[in-house]
Amino acid sequence: MALSSSGTGSGTGIGTAGPETPESGTAGPDTPAARRPTRGLLPLLLAGNSAMYALYIGVGGMLLALQIEDIDPANKVANFGLVAGVSAIFATVFNPVAGALSDRSGRRNPWILGGGLLALPVMLLLGSVDTILLVTIAWCLGQAVMNIYQAAITSVVPDRVPMDARGKASAAVGLGLPIGSTIGALIGAAFSESYRTGYLVLGAVVAGTAVLFTACAREERMPPKAPLPVKQQIAAFGSALTHHDFRWAFIGRALLVLGYFAVAGFQLYILKDHTELPAGLSAEEAVAVLTPLNAVAMVVSTVLGGWLSDRFDRRKLFVGASAVLAALSLVIPAVSTSWTAMLAFSVVNGLGFGCYMAVDTALVTMVLPKAEDAARDMGVLNVANAGPQIIAPFVASLVVSLSGGGYTALFVVAAVLSVLGALAVRPIRGVR
């Protein structure tokens, strides 16, 4: 994925909610997560998620776009859509598969370490290729190893964090997105003239963080699961979606992520071809300005959103309102091509998307069908992060092409998708 997603992670505590039932899918008082201490784990979760998002943003949001433009400038939009879409298929496949494998092994750390270390040679490969086909293959491998890493680190919170500490854990995981995005954008801008070196730097960041996390975040081995027949494994992946609340959470996340990536994936090209930048400011430099600005707004809304949703025990309200705010932010660059409009968009979008990811991930951990299948089901949910990325580049390319090469229609389509994502949380019954 490019943001896992968005954005992923686990969420905040349950406030004044009653005792957990087997249907809730969250850690009850007798589960291992309820007994494990969290001291020292939260900074490691912050570091682990920040490194992941740094690579996703630095590579997927800048270096890859520059490499594709360098190979074939005339067809950069179509080629970028193709590479991003095909590689996202690998993200979709590897995330739930890796989650199920870590469930079966009873371990998370080996998968975090393996995926993180493999990022470095894969980034070396990506920087060394010079055709669209080979870029596609190399970035597919990159998506595969990073989603192995992501599936395991996403499951750490439901595994090891008790319910009364989920608010803090949500903040730690959520802050990884703005911090990592800023690091990735700054590295991407710094190496825009030498993207091969940029790839290596980002790969090294992930590999080093994986070593740090697994060395310091000791885990209590869970009982391994017996292997299931292939048919049962396939059925198990889809079984979570038969759960009413989980299904609607999945739909809402998918719609918002689709709208987000339809625009975010093309940010560099939007700045080059749509926005009227001030004299002397390059598109790459503009990304390095917008990303930290967006990150600050996201940090504020992530912390406040997680805390307020804990305080008032209202998840759906905050999820819906933040999705609507994200939609409104997309209207700003749709009606104005000025640099000021892009600055305003960056701030408002950060406020909306940061709050959404913090609170929605909290909501999701409360509607997981079964606690013992947390990694698998979080992997299924991550399909809602990675799956729309398969569609988003093609949708964005089509919208831009049909609108005559402009990006205004793309902003409008993305805003509509965000509103639909806000409406999708209304049918959820088990969470306020």
Residue 306 has pLDDT above 60, yes or no: yes
Lowest mean pLDDT among 19-23, 163-167, 176-180, 267-271: 19-23
CA 335 centroid distance within chain: 28
Integer CA distances (angstroms), 91 to 319, 349, 387, 393, in order: 25, 25, 8, 14
pLDDT of residue 223: 66
pLDDT at 7 over 50: no
Lowest mean pLDDT among 3-12, 165-174, 248-257: 3-12
Which range is least confidently modeled, 24-28, 217-221, 287-291, 299-303? 24-28
Q: What is the crossing angle of helices 374-402 and 230-239, to 10°?
A: 70
Say if residue 416's pLDDT is above 90. yes
Residue 54's pLDDT is 93
Per-residue pLDDT band for 338 (boundaries 50, 70, 90) equals: very high
Q: What is the pLDDT of residue 373?
A: 65
| Region 95-122 average pLDDT | 86
**Confidence at residue 25, expressed as pLDDT on a 0 to 100 scale:** 38
Segments making up each domain of the chain, as ranges: 32-423
Q: Is the pTM of this model over 0.75?
A: no
Q: 276 in helix, strand or coil?
A: strand
Q: In which band, very low, low, confident or very high, does the pLDDT at 159 lie, cut at 50, 70 and 90?
A: confident
Band (pLDDT 50/70/90 cuts) for residue 4 is very low
- And the tokens for 9? 């992670």
> Residue 162 pLDDT > 80, yes or no?
no
Tens digits of per-residue pLDDT, 50-82?
999 999 989 988 899 899 999 999 888 888 888
Give the chain's length: 432
pLDDT greater at residue 104 or residue 132 = 132
Residue from 232, 340, 226 nearest 281 by CA: 340
* Cα–Cα dist 244/268, whole Å: 39
258-293 pLDDT, tens digit per residue, is 888 888 878 888 999 999 999 989 998 998 899 889
What number is the average pLDDT over the span 78-91?
A: 82
User: What is the rounded average pLDDT of the residues 243-271?
Assistant: 86
Q: Name the pLDDT band for 31 (thresholds 50, 70, 90).
A: very low
Burial (Cβ within 10 Å: 0-12, 13-18, ≥19) of residue 19: exposed
What does the pLDDT average to over 15-41? 43
Q: Which H/E stretch holds residue 370?
A: none
User: How many angstroms separate the CA atoms of 410 and 392, rounded?
Assistant: 11
- Report which of residues 161 and 112 the model is more confident about: 112
Domain 32-423: state its class: mainly alpha
Q: Please report which confidence band the pLDDT of residue 389 belongs to, taking 50, 70 and 90 as the band edges.
A: low
Q: By CB neighbour count within 10 A (0-12 exposed, 13-18 middle, 19+ buried), where does 405 fall? A: exposed
